[in-house]
């Protein structure tokens, strides 16, 4: 196992350089800002944090302003986080991966390889993918 992992950094770093996302907290070296991003990212997905991160730091740009923030102001700032979380929960955001896996297994798509280019698939396999997409978008379609 150690031998298999030994090559990983050499393969992973070039992949990261090519595929990394442009995220605001990666450009910032301020430990407080990095800490805020880490706390937010533990609570929800990257896409939800991207906009809120900047607004939060605008309101509370330092550890001192965070420490001085009264409870009412903090509750106001945290309301948006709660709203984002509620929207994600309401739209089954956190279980979408499980739903995709379930439908892929049921249609035999997992055996094809979920990362294959659609142009490499047969017509029947493409039909299964379209059916899977339909089931994810409108689960009530099939009774």
- Sign of the four-CA dihedral 113, 114, 119, 124: positive
| From 3, 38, 47, 79, the catalytic residue | 38
CA-based nearest residue to 63, from 39, 92, 33, 37: 33
Contact assessment for residue 62 and residue 32, using Cβ atoms and an 8 Å cutoff: yes
Contact assessment for residue 95 and residue 136, using Cβ atoms and an 8 Å cutoff: no
Which tokens hold the place of 113?
A: 């390889």
Helix (H, G, I), strand (E, B) or coil at 111: coil
Q: Please indicate whether residue 38 is annotated as part of the active site.
A: yes
C-alpha distances out from residue 121 to 4, 104, 129, 130, Å: 31, 15, 10, 12
Catalytic residues: 38
């Amino acid at each position: 196992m150690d031998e298999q992992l030994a090559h990983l950094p050499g393969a992973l770093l070039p992949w990261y350089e090519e595929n990394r996302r442009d995220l605001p907290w990666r450009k910032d070296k301020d430990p407080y800002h990095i800490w805020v991003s880490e706390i937010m990212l533990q609570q929800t997905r990257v896409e939800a944090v991207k906009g809120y991160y900047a607004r939060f730091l605008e309101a509370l740009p330092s550890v001192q302003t965070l420490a001085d923030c009264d409870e009412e102001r903090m509750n106001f700032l945290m309301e948006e986080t709660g709203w984002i979380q509620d929207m994600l929960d309401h739209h089954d955001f956190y279980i979408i991966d499980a739903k995709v896996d379930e439908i892929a297994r049921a249609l035999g798509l997992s055996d094809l390889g979920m990362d294959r280019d659609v142009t490499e698939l047969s017509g029947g396999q493409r039909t299964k993918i379209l059916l899977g997409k339909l089931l994810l978008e409108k689960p009530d379609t099939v009774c």
